Amino acid sequence: MKKVIVSITCIFSILLVLLNINKITTNITHALYHPSSNKVTQETNYYQNQSYNFVKNTTDFTPLGKQDLLDIIYTAINNGSKSFTFYCPKVYQTCISDINEFSNDANLLTHLNNFVHPYNSFTSIKTTISDSGEINFTIKYLYTKEEIATLNQEIKKLLPTLLAQADKLNENETDKFTIEYNKIKVIHDYIINNTKYDLDNNKELKSYNAYGALINHIATCNGYTDLMALFLTEMGYENFKVATTNGTSENSKGHVWNAVKVNDEWLHLDLTWDDPVSSDNKDYLYHKYFLINTEELFLADSNITSEEHNFDPAIYSELKSS
């Protein structure tokens, strides 16, 4: 029976639904200058000492522009901070309005979330501002300590066996890319072979995160992507998540997938689309969206109407077309 692939509308909106970003309600007439002496302390073991074109870690918490604000927020969540306070200086006259803008831009904060370790990804940020220009973020994170402990235990148990399979594939291999390809492939295939796509967005089974994918064997695109990111990080690969630029057209429903750096090249990796929902209810395993560059990604999408891989190159510029 000829298989018919059903177009997947991934439930990327889960993070946007969870992002209960509080509006700033305090009326500010003029922010006083307060030099910030804050230092972000590492509150979890999942800090990533990586900076990207879009955002970077910072040690300067006196913002002078929008990029400084993004870097401060990124640094706070990258360290797993539950709360963080800094001040708007008087010389940065639009600081309050810029923070207000960011606080109400769930899409922007979701993109920002994609550059931190999955365990440091947040579900909500509450923003408050005092009359003196003191800015406080209260951050709620996605994963519980219990979920993290269970996931880490399972990944550490599985990884040696999976990498042993890759070693067999690479036994007589000398090409560097092929060796890395096979290592990542065994993880990709394991996740797909042991996970069903959740058409019902079952929050009770946590299909929106890695716990649903690895423990309950059910996932939306968020679950596939987070689990792949956990394996990639454990294996030592630089990686981040990529999200659709939401709302660009009716064909852009929202989606998230992985980017990974292999032999100094950033490549796309989409497990959700390599694990299609089919009309005959059979399981299929593809490698159509496996370790491909941006030109190959758009070529793979050329015969479909979905625009779920329509990402913003200004945010994910590591993946820009050549």
- Is residue 213 within 8 A of residue 299, CB to CB? The reply is no
Q: Which residue type is seen at 159?
A: L
Choose between 293 and 132: higher pLDDT. 293
Q: Say if residues 96 and 41 touch (Cβ distance below 8 Å).
A: no
Give CA angle at 185 (182, 187), nearest 5°: 120
Domains detected in the chain: 13-141 (no CATH), 144-319 (3.10.620)
Window from 56-65, 169-178, 279-288, 293-302 with minimum mean pLDDT: 279-288
Instruction: Give kind and range of the element (H or E) at residue 157.
Output: helix 145-169
Direct distance between the N- and C-terminal alpha carbons of the chain, in angstroms, rounded to an integer: 40
Show Cβ contacts of residue 303 under 8 Å, excluding neighbours closer than 6 positions. none
Q: Specify the pLDDT at position 303.
A: 83
Least confident of 60-69, 103-112, 277-286, 298-307: 277-286
User: Do residues 137 and 84 lie in contact, with contact meaning Cβ atoms separated by under 8 Å?
Assistant: yes
Q: Which of 113, 48, 36, 109 is nearest to 79 (CA)?
A: 48
Q: What is the H or E stretch that residue 241 is in?
A: strand 239-243
Please give the share of the chain, as a percent, with pLDDT higher than 70.
Answer: 83
φ, ψ for residue 11 (rounded to 5)?
-90, 65
Region 191-213: mean pLDDT is 93
Model pLDDT, residue 131? 79
| Position 48, amino acid | Q
For the segment 227-281, what is each residue's pLDDT rounded down to a tens digit? 999 999 999 999 999 999 765 545 556 899 999 999 999 999 999 999 987 656 6
Mean per-residue pLDDT, 75-89? 93
Cβ within 8 Å of residue 155, ≥6 positions away: 214, 230, 231, 234
Residue type, 297: L
Whether 34 has a pLDDT exceeding 60, the answer reads no
Q: How confident is the model at residue 18 (pLDDT cuts 50, 70, 90)?
A: very low
Say yes or no to pLDDT of 174 above 70: yes
Identity of residue 296:
E
Q: Tell me the Ramachandran region of residue 281: left when phi exceeds 0, alpha when psi lies from -120 to 50, beta otherwise.
A: left
- The one-letter amino acid code at 141 reads Y
Q: What is the pTM of this model?
A: 0.87
Contact status, residue 69 vs residue 99, Cβ threshold 8 Å? yes
**Which pLDDT score is estimated for 321?**
74
β-strands 134-141, 83-87: how paired?
A: antiparallel
Q: Is the pLDDT of residue 13 over 80?
A: no
Q: Residue 202's pLDDT band (boundaries 50, 70, 90)?
A: confident
Residue 93, C-beta contacts closer than 8 angstroms, at least 6 positions apart: none
